[in-house]
Structure 1
Amino acid sequence: MLVATIARMGLGLLTFVVLARYLGPTQFGVIATAMAYATFVSLATDYGLATSALRRASIAPPDAGRIVGDALAVKVLLALAALLVAIIAAAFAVPVTQLPIYACVFMGTLAYSFADLSMVVARAHRRFEVEAALVVSTSVVMLLGTGGVAAWTGSVSAAAGVFLATRLFYLAAVQWRLRCWLGPLAGMGRSVAEMRATLHASANYAVDNILTVLTSQIDVLLFALLLSSYEMGVYQAGARLVQVIVPFAVVLSTVYMPALSSAAAQPELKPFRRLSRRVTIEFAGLALVAGLAFTFVGPLITTHLYGDRYASLQPLWAGFGAYALLRFAAAGFGIQLVALNRITPRIVSQIAAAAAFVVATVLLLPGAHLRVAAWLLALIGAVNFAVLGLSLLRSDRRDTAVIASLVGLPLTALLLALLAGRM
């Protein structure tokens, strides 16, 4: 699982770096914005299916194929509805010359999300090596294909076309490799009753899932309305790196989901507390590493990584570092709340973060532009961290490490910001 996560994050980041460097800020701003909108739509159609299916399939591995198959069938229906809405919205909001780019990115992102949902069946069987092999091999193909075409042609349209082709290849490879567990596609969603049951089982996670996706993409969704394509390209050159924190943390947290869910179902407190300590400490450690890296390493590598055209990215790294630290730690709190079947605090945190971000953006971004963009993103991480941490603190099953994390990490983020400001 760790190998797959690192490959997905590392090779995905490298692909975006190549796109940003060779397409330039303006063209990169176009395709990166298309990816943000497409990611929001594709993950919103997940409707909590991945989390729900993993939880149910982990409890009953022999039924994993049926559970994931029905989840895929439901996602097909949701994706078709989303596609119709996207076509109507694009007709009014997207320039005609950019429509092919948005179409390729949208279809490619949808294909990728179907492949990721299919991968739940391997996780339920604890066959993480299968996922690792698939992710590593196909991620290399995506990097060489999309990045290579961008570097060779410098054309955003050509890069978008290869983006679609490589994501379809990933979906085909996943379906072929997992066919022994998933069974034939025709067997998915065998009855309306089963699909309705799947929707019902996922409903508790749907709002949380959609809001999680919204808060991870809301910066681009809103900034695209207020910033130029050039400014969007510069901002996303850093934001796309730091926002990998969210899917990375989500995928990593699924490793703990089966054990946490099992411990939460036991009447004794000690099993869950032991896992709570481990998850909290590990996520806090990873959060600290991420915060340090973005705050201090980012400014050193910007020119070497992207070229001179991205010099205006330099002042944004401190804000990106604060977001990475707080958002990663918040993910550790969130997965514990899911295992305890406490979804409401997660929903409240997403709503509060989105509301605070929108208000702050409307007030500050039109006048300050890029200068405050990264700190507006950090505000999302801060709200999520506070709400989820305080909610977990109220549980008698949490470990005392939660208290240390709640107190220590915000102080660390503040210290890093002060140090970065003096550099």
Structure 2
Amino acid sequence: MSKIDRDYIFSFLSIAARTVGGLTVFIANARIFGPEQFGVLMSWFAVAAFLAILPNFGVVPVILRDCAKAIDGGFRIVSDLLNVKLCLTAATVPFAILLSAILPDGVVFGLLSATHIADTYIDFFLAVLRARGKFRYEAVSYSIYSALSLIFIILVGYLSTSLELVALSFFLSRLAFAIVLMARVTQLYEDKFRLLPIRRSLFLAKSHAGYLIDLGLQSAMVNLDSTILRIVAGPYSVGLYQAGTKIAYGFCTAIGVISNVMIPRNSRRFSEGDRIGVIKSITWGFLSVGLALGVTNYGVMTLLMPKVYGDHFSSIIVLAPILSAFLVARFIASGFGIILVLANEARARILALSVSVAVLVCGCAWLGARYGAVGAAATLLASTLVTAGLMLVAVNQTRLSSVCR
């Protein structure tokens, strides 16, 4: 078995552990709280995600792309970006505290905000491990973490039907894993991480502003629909909608399996001129996997999920064809997005996502108010198709430019 094959397997095991663990937690909470309270929890989960945009600032693809090419293993890159994260986290925390004091369910919102921020550090350190080829360590550590956090969070939910305690269990489990990963990353480098002056960190943040905007738009694509649906249709519709989309997004994590290996492996090949070959392999790879998982998603949502979620969620069957089509479109768009990352075409990604977010906001406000969860799902599909179409145009321009050379 080649090293690339092993990397794919370990990456799959890692993301499978993350997906199964996370999905099981959300299903358990849905059964415990029912559509109404589950909708409240998930709507605040979606709103809190926006506060994590700044500390995250979208540089995971940069780490995967650049650290794999760096002679020193990317220590300078990792050190600089970690300083930026710390600086932006310090700027975000006061806003989280202020909003927690103002908003209803403020404690839940504050804890979920802290959960999302801790998640950004988990993603950051995992990206470093992948770039250094430590896929096996990631798979083992994430499997152990997922099992332990799964037991912890579900136990808290069953013992106490308090949204505050469930939110606290989310945060504590993420924080513990982030600390473990940080310790492992520091062992990879002989040099020690040092704090940079704030001015230097802000300068670095500004140089990566394109990735921050890209991430913000991606976050809007994932979380705005539930936020708007809560306003126009209420938490019950959010609960049904999230119950369906969690399944589809669970399958979407296969995107990470492919991209975690594909970006580092194709970065040098793409930069050395084999653009057309890379574009073909990525496009067909994502399309074939997307079609297979779209069919699987339809079967799972129609045959299995109504029994797993319980009678209160039986109506999610009507979302199955829409969300299955969304899944295929999402894979196609993600393949094009990876090509644009390799081509360093952040502007094209931002343009595509900006138009898609506009479609999502307008469509969800209109169709969500009229048709509830079904309208929101239809809007999600439409906005994803717009993303795929606009990115296809940009990828085609990239291909033509390589031919002209």
The two structures share one fold, judged by TM-score above 0.5: yes
- Residue of structure 2 in register with 1:285 after alignment: 288
Listed as ranges, the matches of 1:113-128 within 5 Å are: 113-128=120-135
Compared CA separation, residues 22 and 182, structure 1 to 2 (3 A): farther
Establish whether residue 110 from structure 1 lines up as the match of residue 117 from structure 2: yes
Selected match of 1:37 from 21, 25, 47: 47
Establish whether residue 49 from structure 1 lines up as the match of residue 59 from structure 2: yes
Establish whether residue 230 from structure 1 lines up as the match of residue 236 from structure 2: yes
SS at match of 2:261: coil
Compared CA separation, residues 134 and 111, structure 1 to 2 (3 A): same
Selected match of 1:256 from 248, 255, 262: 262
**Offset from partner CA, 1:118-141 (integer Å, 9 cap, x none):** 222212211211211221111111
* 2:229–2:237 CA contact under 8 A, matched in 1: no
Whole-angstrom distance in 2 between the partners of 1:182 and 1:27:
46
Compared CA separation, residues 137 and 16, structure 1 to 2 (3 A): same
Establish whether residue 305 from structure 1 lines up as the match of residue 315 from structure 2: no
* 1:283–1:329 CA contact under 8 A, matched in 2: yes
TM-score, normalising length from structure 1?
Answer: 0.86
Q: Which amino acid aligns with 1:65?
A: F
Q: CA deviation at 1:172?
A: 1.6
Q: CA deviation at 1:254?
A: 2.8
* 2:214–2:350 CA contact under 8 A, matched in 1: yes
Selected match of 2:25 from 7, 15, 19: 15
* 2:298–2:321 CA contact under 8 A, matched in 1: yes
SS at match of 1:59: coil
SS at match of 1:394: helix
Listed as ranges, the matches of 1:20-419 within 5 Å are: 20-92=30-102, 94-95=103-104, 98-181=105-188, 187-192=193-198, 194-196=200-202, 198-244=204-250, 248-250=254-256, 252-266=258-272, 268=273, 271-396=274-399
Q: CA deviation at 1:394?
A: 2.6
SS at match of 2:56: coil
**Offset from partner CA, 1:132-160 (integer Å, 9 cap, x none):** 12211111112111122223433323222
* 2:229–2:369 CA contact under 8 A, matched in 1: no
**Offset from partner CA, 1:366-402 (integer Å, 9 cap, x none):** 2222332211111121111111122212332799xxx
Whole-angstrom distance in 1 between the partners of 2:135 and 2:34:
37
Q: Which amino acid aligns with 2:40?
A: V
Q: Which amino acid aligns with 2:213?
A: V
Q: CA deviation at 1:8?
A: 1.4
Q: Which amino acid aligns with 2:349?
A: R
Q: Which amino acid aligns with 2:92?
A: A
Q: CA deviation at 1:161?
A: 1.9
RMSD after superposition: 2.4
Q: CA deviation at 1:46?
A: 1.4
* 1:64–1:181 CA contact under 8 A, matched in 2: no
* 1:327–1:385 CA contact under 8 A, matched in 2: yes
TM-score, normalising length from structure 2?
Answer: 0.89
What 5-or-longer segments of structure 2 have no aligned partner? 1-10
* 1:74–1:189 CA contact under 8 A, matched in 2: no
Aligned residues: 393
Q: Which amino acid aligns with 1:160?
A: A
Whole-angstrom distance in 2 between the partners of 1:396 and 1:160:
46
Whole-angstrom distance in 2 between the partners of 1:61 and 1:37:
40
What 5-or-longer segments of structure 1 have no aligned partner? 400-423
Whole-angstrom distance in 2 between the partners of 1:227 and 1:182:
51
Deviates more, 1:278-287 or 1:62-71: 62-71
Q: Which amino acid aligns with 2:242?
A: Q
* 1:46–1:75 CA contact under 8 A, matched in 2: yes
* 1:52–1:201 CA contact under 8 A, matched in 2: no
Deviates more, 1:195-204 or 1:64-73: 195-204
Q: Which amino acid aligns with 1:337?
A: L
- Residue of structure 1 in register with 2:6 after alignment: none
Whole-angstrom distance in 2 between the partners of 1:245 and 1:40:
23
SS at match of 1:255: helix
SS at match of 1:48: coil
Deviates more, 1:78-87 or 1:281-290: 78-87
